[in-house]
Structure 1
Amino acid sequence: MSNDKNNNISSRSTGRVTLSDVAAKAGVSPITASRALKSPDQVSEKLRVKIYAAVSELGYIPNHAARSLASSETKIISVIFPSLSNAVFPDVLDGIHDTLTPAGYRILLANTHYAMDQEEALVRTLLEQSPDGIIVTGIDQNESTRKLLLNSNTPVVQIMELTDCPIDMNVGFSHFQASYDLVRHLQNSGYKKIGFIGARMDPRSQRRMEGYKQAMHEYSETNERYVITSQSNTSFKLGGKLFTQLFTECPELEAICFSNDDLAAGAIFECNRKGIRIPEDISIAGFNDLHFSEELIPPLTTVSIPLYEMGKKAAEYLLYKIEHRTVPPSVQHDVGYSVIERKSTYANLESKK
């Protein structure tokens, strides 16, 4: 009886396929093979076809580590997000991708899960890979992480917020001011009794709450009962739960600002289930202007942020510093924001009377 196990052993070579193997297979010199892969326009179409066929047949994968030793570049940009499930970040990533990919860079994505210690560990690991640049979310890195990035000699862009003391370069907007302006928009529409609901109170959510509180302190009735927060992860379900709690305890509220659109959407779903009319019985406003916000019933008043443009500008900053070996003329870019009024609030509260 034959030994099927031995007969079926893979014939895969134990050695890595090299560029020289590709060149030999295609019948060209290693230099020509390398040129075809790095700068295809410098090689005739006939040779390119042969070389690409050899690459495909042999399963050749370029050794980027060896290439980086020779050129001092890895062509890798590390991007650090606090969450991969938060619907805010895909648009930011699209802007980064659409800018870096045509320039020949690959993106290495990391997730901190909103934990500073994980962020520090990830930064250490990523810096060991010698990326050509790093894009990191937020401005609240701990002292050790900040020191690592400052001393790394690696171009760094902090995104999503603005800071007076960037590690290197900074692209974002003021969450405090955006929330403040949203509340002022409601106040100018006639609202006085305005609540706030927030969840997973990371630094950006905290600043949104502070913007709300400042506007309320200056122009409306300040009441701590009107504020409710949770450290739980944001979800539609949580938004409905927190809304029910706040509106039950404070039925006099005229409007509620939510720290994000997910929570606001959950509140709208809950109102629709219970027959609570929006905006007649309560007005609702969100933050981020996510793709679904305009499709809710009623459509959600919210703060819109140019997320794609933020990612694009951050990538452009990195490319500038990599190419010029110095920071751009301005190291900070404010992408701004817009308060978008929709049917979940009144343009004029008096109109409902």
Structure 2
Amino acid sequence: MVESHDGRRGTMSKSVEWGRKSRRDAPVKLSDVAKKVGVSPITISRALRNPEIVSEDLREEILRIVEEMGYIPNLAARALAGRHNGIVAVITPALHQYGFTSLMIGIEDRFRNTDLTVQYSNTLHHAEGEAGLLKSFLTQKPAGVIIAGAESYRDLLPLIDNAACPIAHVTDLSQEPQKLVVGLDHYMAGAEPTRFLLSRGYKRIAFFGRGADVRSRRRIEGYEAVMRGAGRFDPDLIIGGDAPSRTGLGRDLFARLIERVPDVDAVFAQSDELALGVLIECKARGIRVPEELGICGFNDLEFSAFIEPSLTTVYIPRQDIGYRVADMLLRAIRDEPPDEDRVDCGFSIIPRGSTR
């Protein structure tokens, strides 16, 4: 019902009501933008996909009108009309962990000045969900996919072999993919820091980590091999927990470890957060670091250089890994040959004040 100016009430016509609703709800179309700018829809489409093909003045005018009208490109229509929908899908197990932030920065840096958009999905280390996520992305015709840390390739390989788009990988180099791969040898990333601690005179070296994924399990294998080779392996020195690798867990693990192995004299922790927890617990118990206990972390997070004592740790070039895997994928999307098809980015040990 509506009320007239003289107070009479009546019924609004359905056509007027529908017309108002239609105008309010109808999305802005490409043809609407083209009409406003005064060019063809194909010119608008091309300018949004490849801005460099139009003049600077026209590009600025198109972008201004797009912003003004609130036009949102239809990616589904784009996928139907072309090879792909303009999205790069990234499947990762741990978006919530600090170590993956640098990886994402590297990926974003490489795609920033392209016409591609990055979309992330998080498996939370559930291997059984990896194939389902990849299958879901592939049905949407992505430009490409980055699998950043798969737990298992058993169910992924058939999908990868039949994918219509290129798929690049961040992996432990022992895993199956043989092309479009960037990663490192996590076995060596467990072995070399253990050798480093032995070289500094530590003998009873504990390993802190759950072995929840293939990368951490490979590091445990590297640690164990070196400790066995030195005649110092003791399974009681490997300890983990069900909680995420955080500072509180580090304190708890060290408190439990020192009760059962009181002569432990070093800890190799699988994250800097765990290592920080060990350091805090040592201070609470009056254990001198590095004289009585050496501590080595993993990931070289920002705080590691500024705590007291500063933290010896393992640096992984995660931002470079992200950039290089994105560059590798981008070249494949553009049908350009890669500089390299399989890259070992390595790691480095950063000695600081928490070890002798």
Q: Is the structural similarity TM-score above 0.5? A: yes
- d(CA) in 2 for partners of 1:179, 1:334: 16
SS in 2 for 1:215: helix
CA contact (8 A) 2:200 2:355 kept: no
Instruction: Report the residue type matching 1:315 in the other structure.
Output: A
Q: For structure 1, which segment, 14-23 or 29-38, has the greater mean C-alpha deviation from structure 2 after superposition?
A: 29-38
Query: Cα offset for 1:139?
Result: 5.0
Query: Cα offset for 1:36?
Result: 4.0
Instruction: Report the residue type matching 2:77 in the other structure.
Output: A
Find 1:216's aligned residue among 217, 227, 230: 227
SS in 2 for 1:88: helix
Q: How does 1:1-353 map to 2 (within 5 A)?
A: 12-44=23-55, 46-138=57-149, 140-163=151-174, 165-166=176-177, 168-199=179-210, 201-324=212-335, 328=338, 330-346=340-356
Q: For structure 1, which segment, 169-178 or 137-146, has the greater mean C-alpha deviation from structure 2 after superposition?
A: 137-146
CA contact (8 A) 2:147 2:167 kept: yes
Give the count of matched residue pairs.
342
Moved over 6 A (4+): none
Measured at CA, do residues 14 and 304 of structure 1 come closer, stay the same or move farther in structure 2, by a change above 3 Å?
same
- The higher radius of gyration belongs to 2
The C-alpha deviation readout for 1:9-58, integer Å capped at 9, x for no partner, is: 86754433211111222333334433443444554555445433432332
CA contact (8 A) 1:187 1:220 kept: no
Instruction: Report the residue type matching 1:264 in the other structure.
Output: A
Query: Cα offset for 1:206?
Result: 1.1
Measured at CA, do residues 48 and 198 of structure 1 come closer, stay the same or move farther in structure 2, by a change above 3 Å?
closer
Query: Cα offset for 1:283?
Result: 1.1
SS in 2 for 1:103: coil
- d(CA) in 1 for partners of 2:331, 2:218: 30
Query: Cα offset for 1:159?
Result: 0.6
Identical pairs, percent: 38
Measured at CA, do residues 275 and 164 of structure 1 come closer, stay the same or move farther in structure 2, by a change above 3 Å?
closer
Measured at CA, do residues 57 and 12 of structure 1 come closer, stay the same or move farther in structure 2, by a change above 3 Å?
farther
Query: Cα offset for 1:218?
Result: 0.6
Structure 1: stretches of 5+ with no match in the other structure:
347-353
Query: Cα offset for 1:308?
Result: 0.7
RMSD of aligned alpha carbons? 2.4
Measured at CA, do residues 190 and 164 of structure 1 come closer, stay the same or move farther in structure 2, by a change above 3 Å?
same
Instruction: Report the residue type matching 2:245 in the other structure.
Output: T
CA contact (8 A) 1:261 1:287 kept: yes
The C-alpha deviation readout for 1:125-169, integer Å capped at 9, x for no partner, is: 111111121111235424222221222143122214213631642
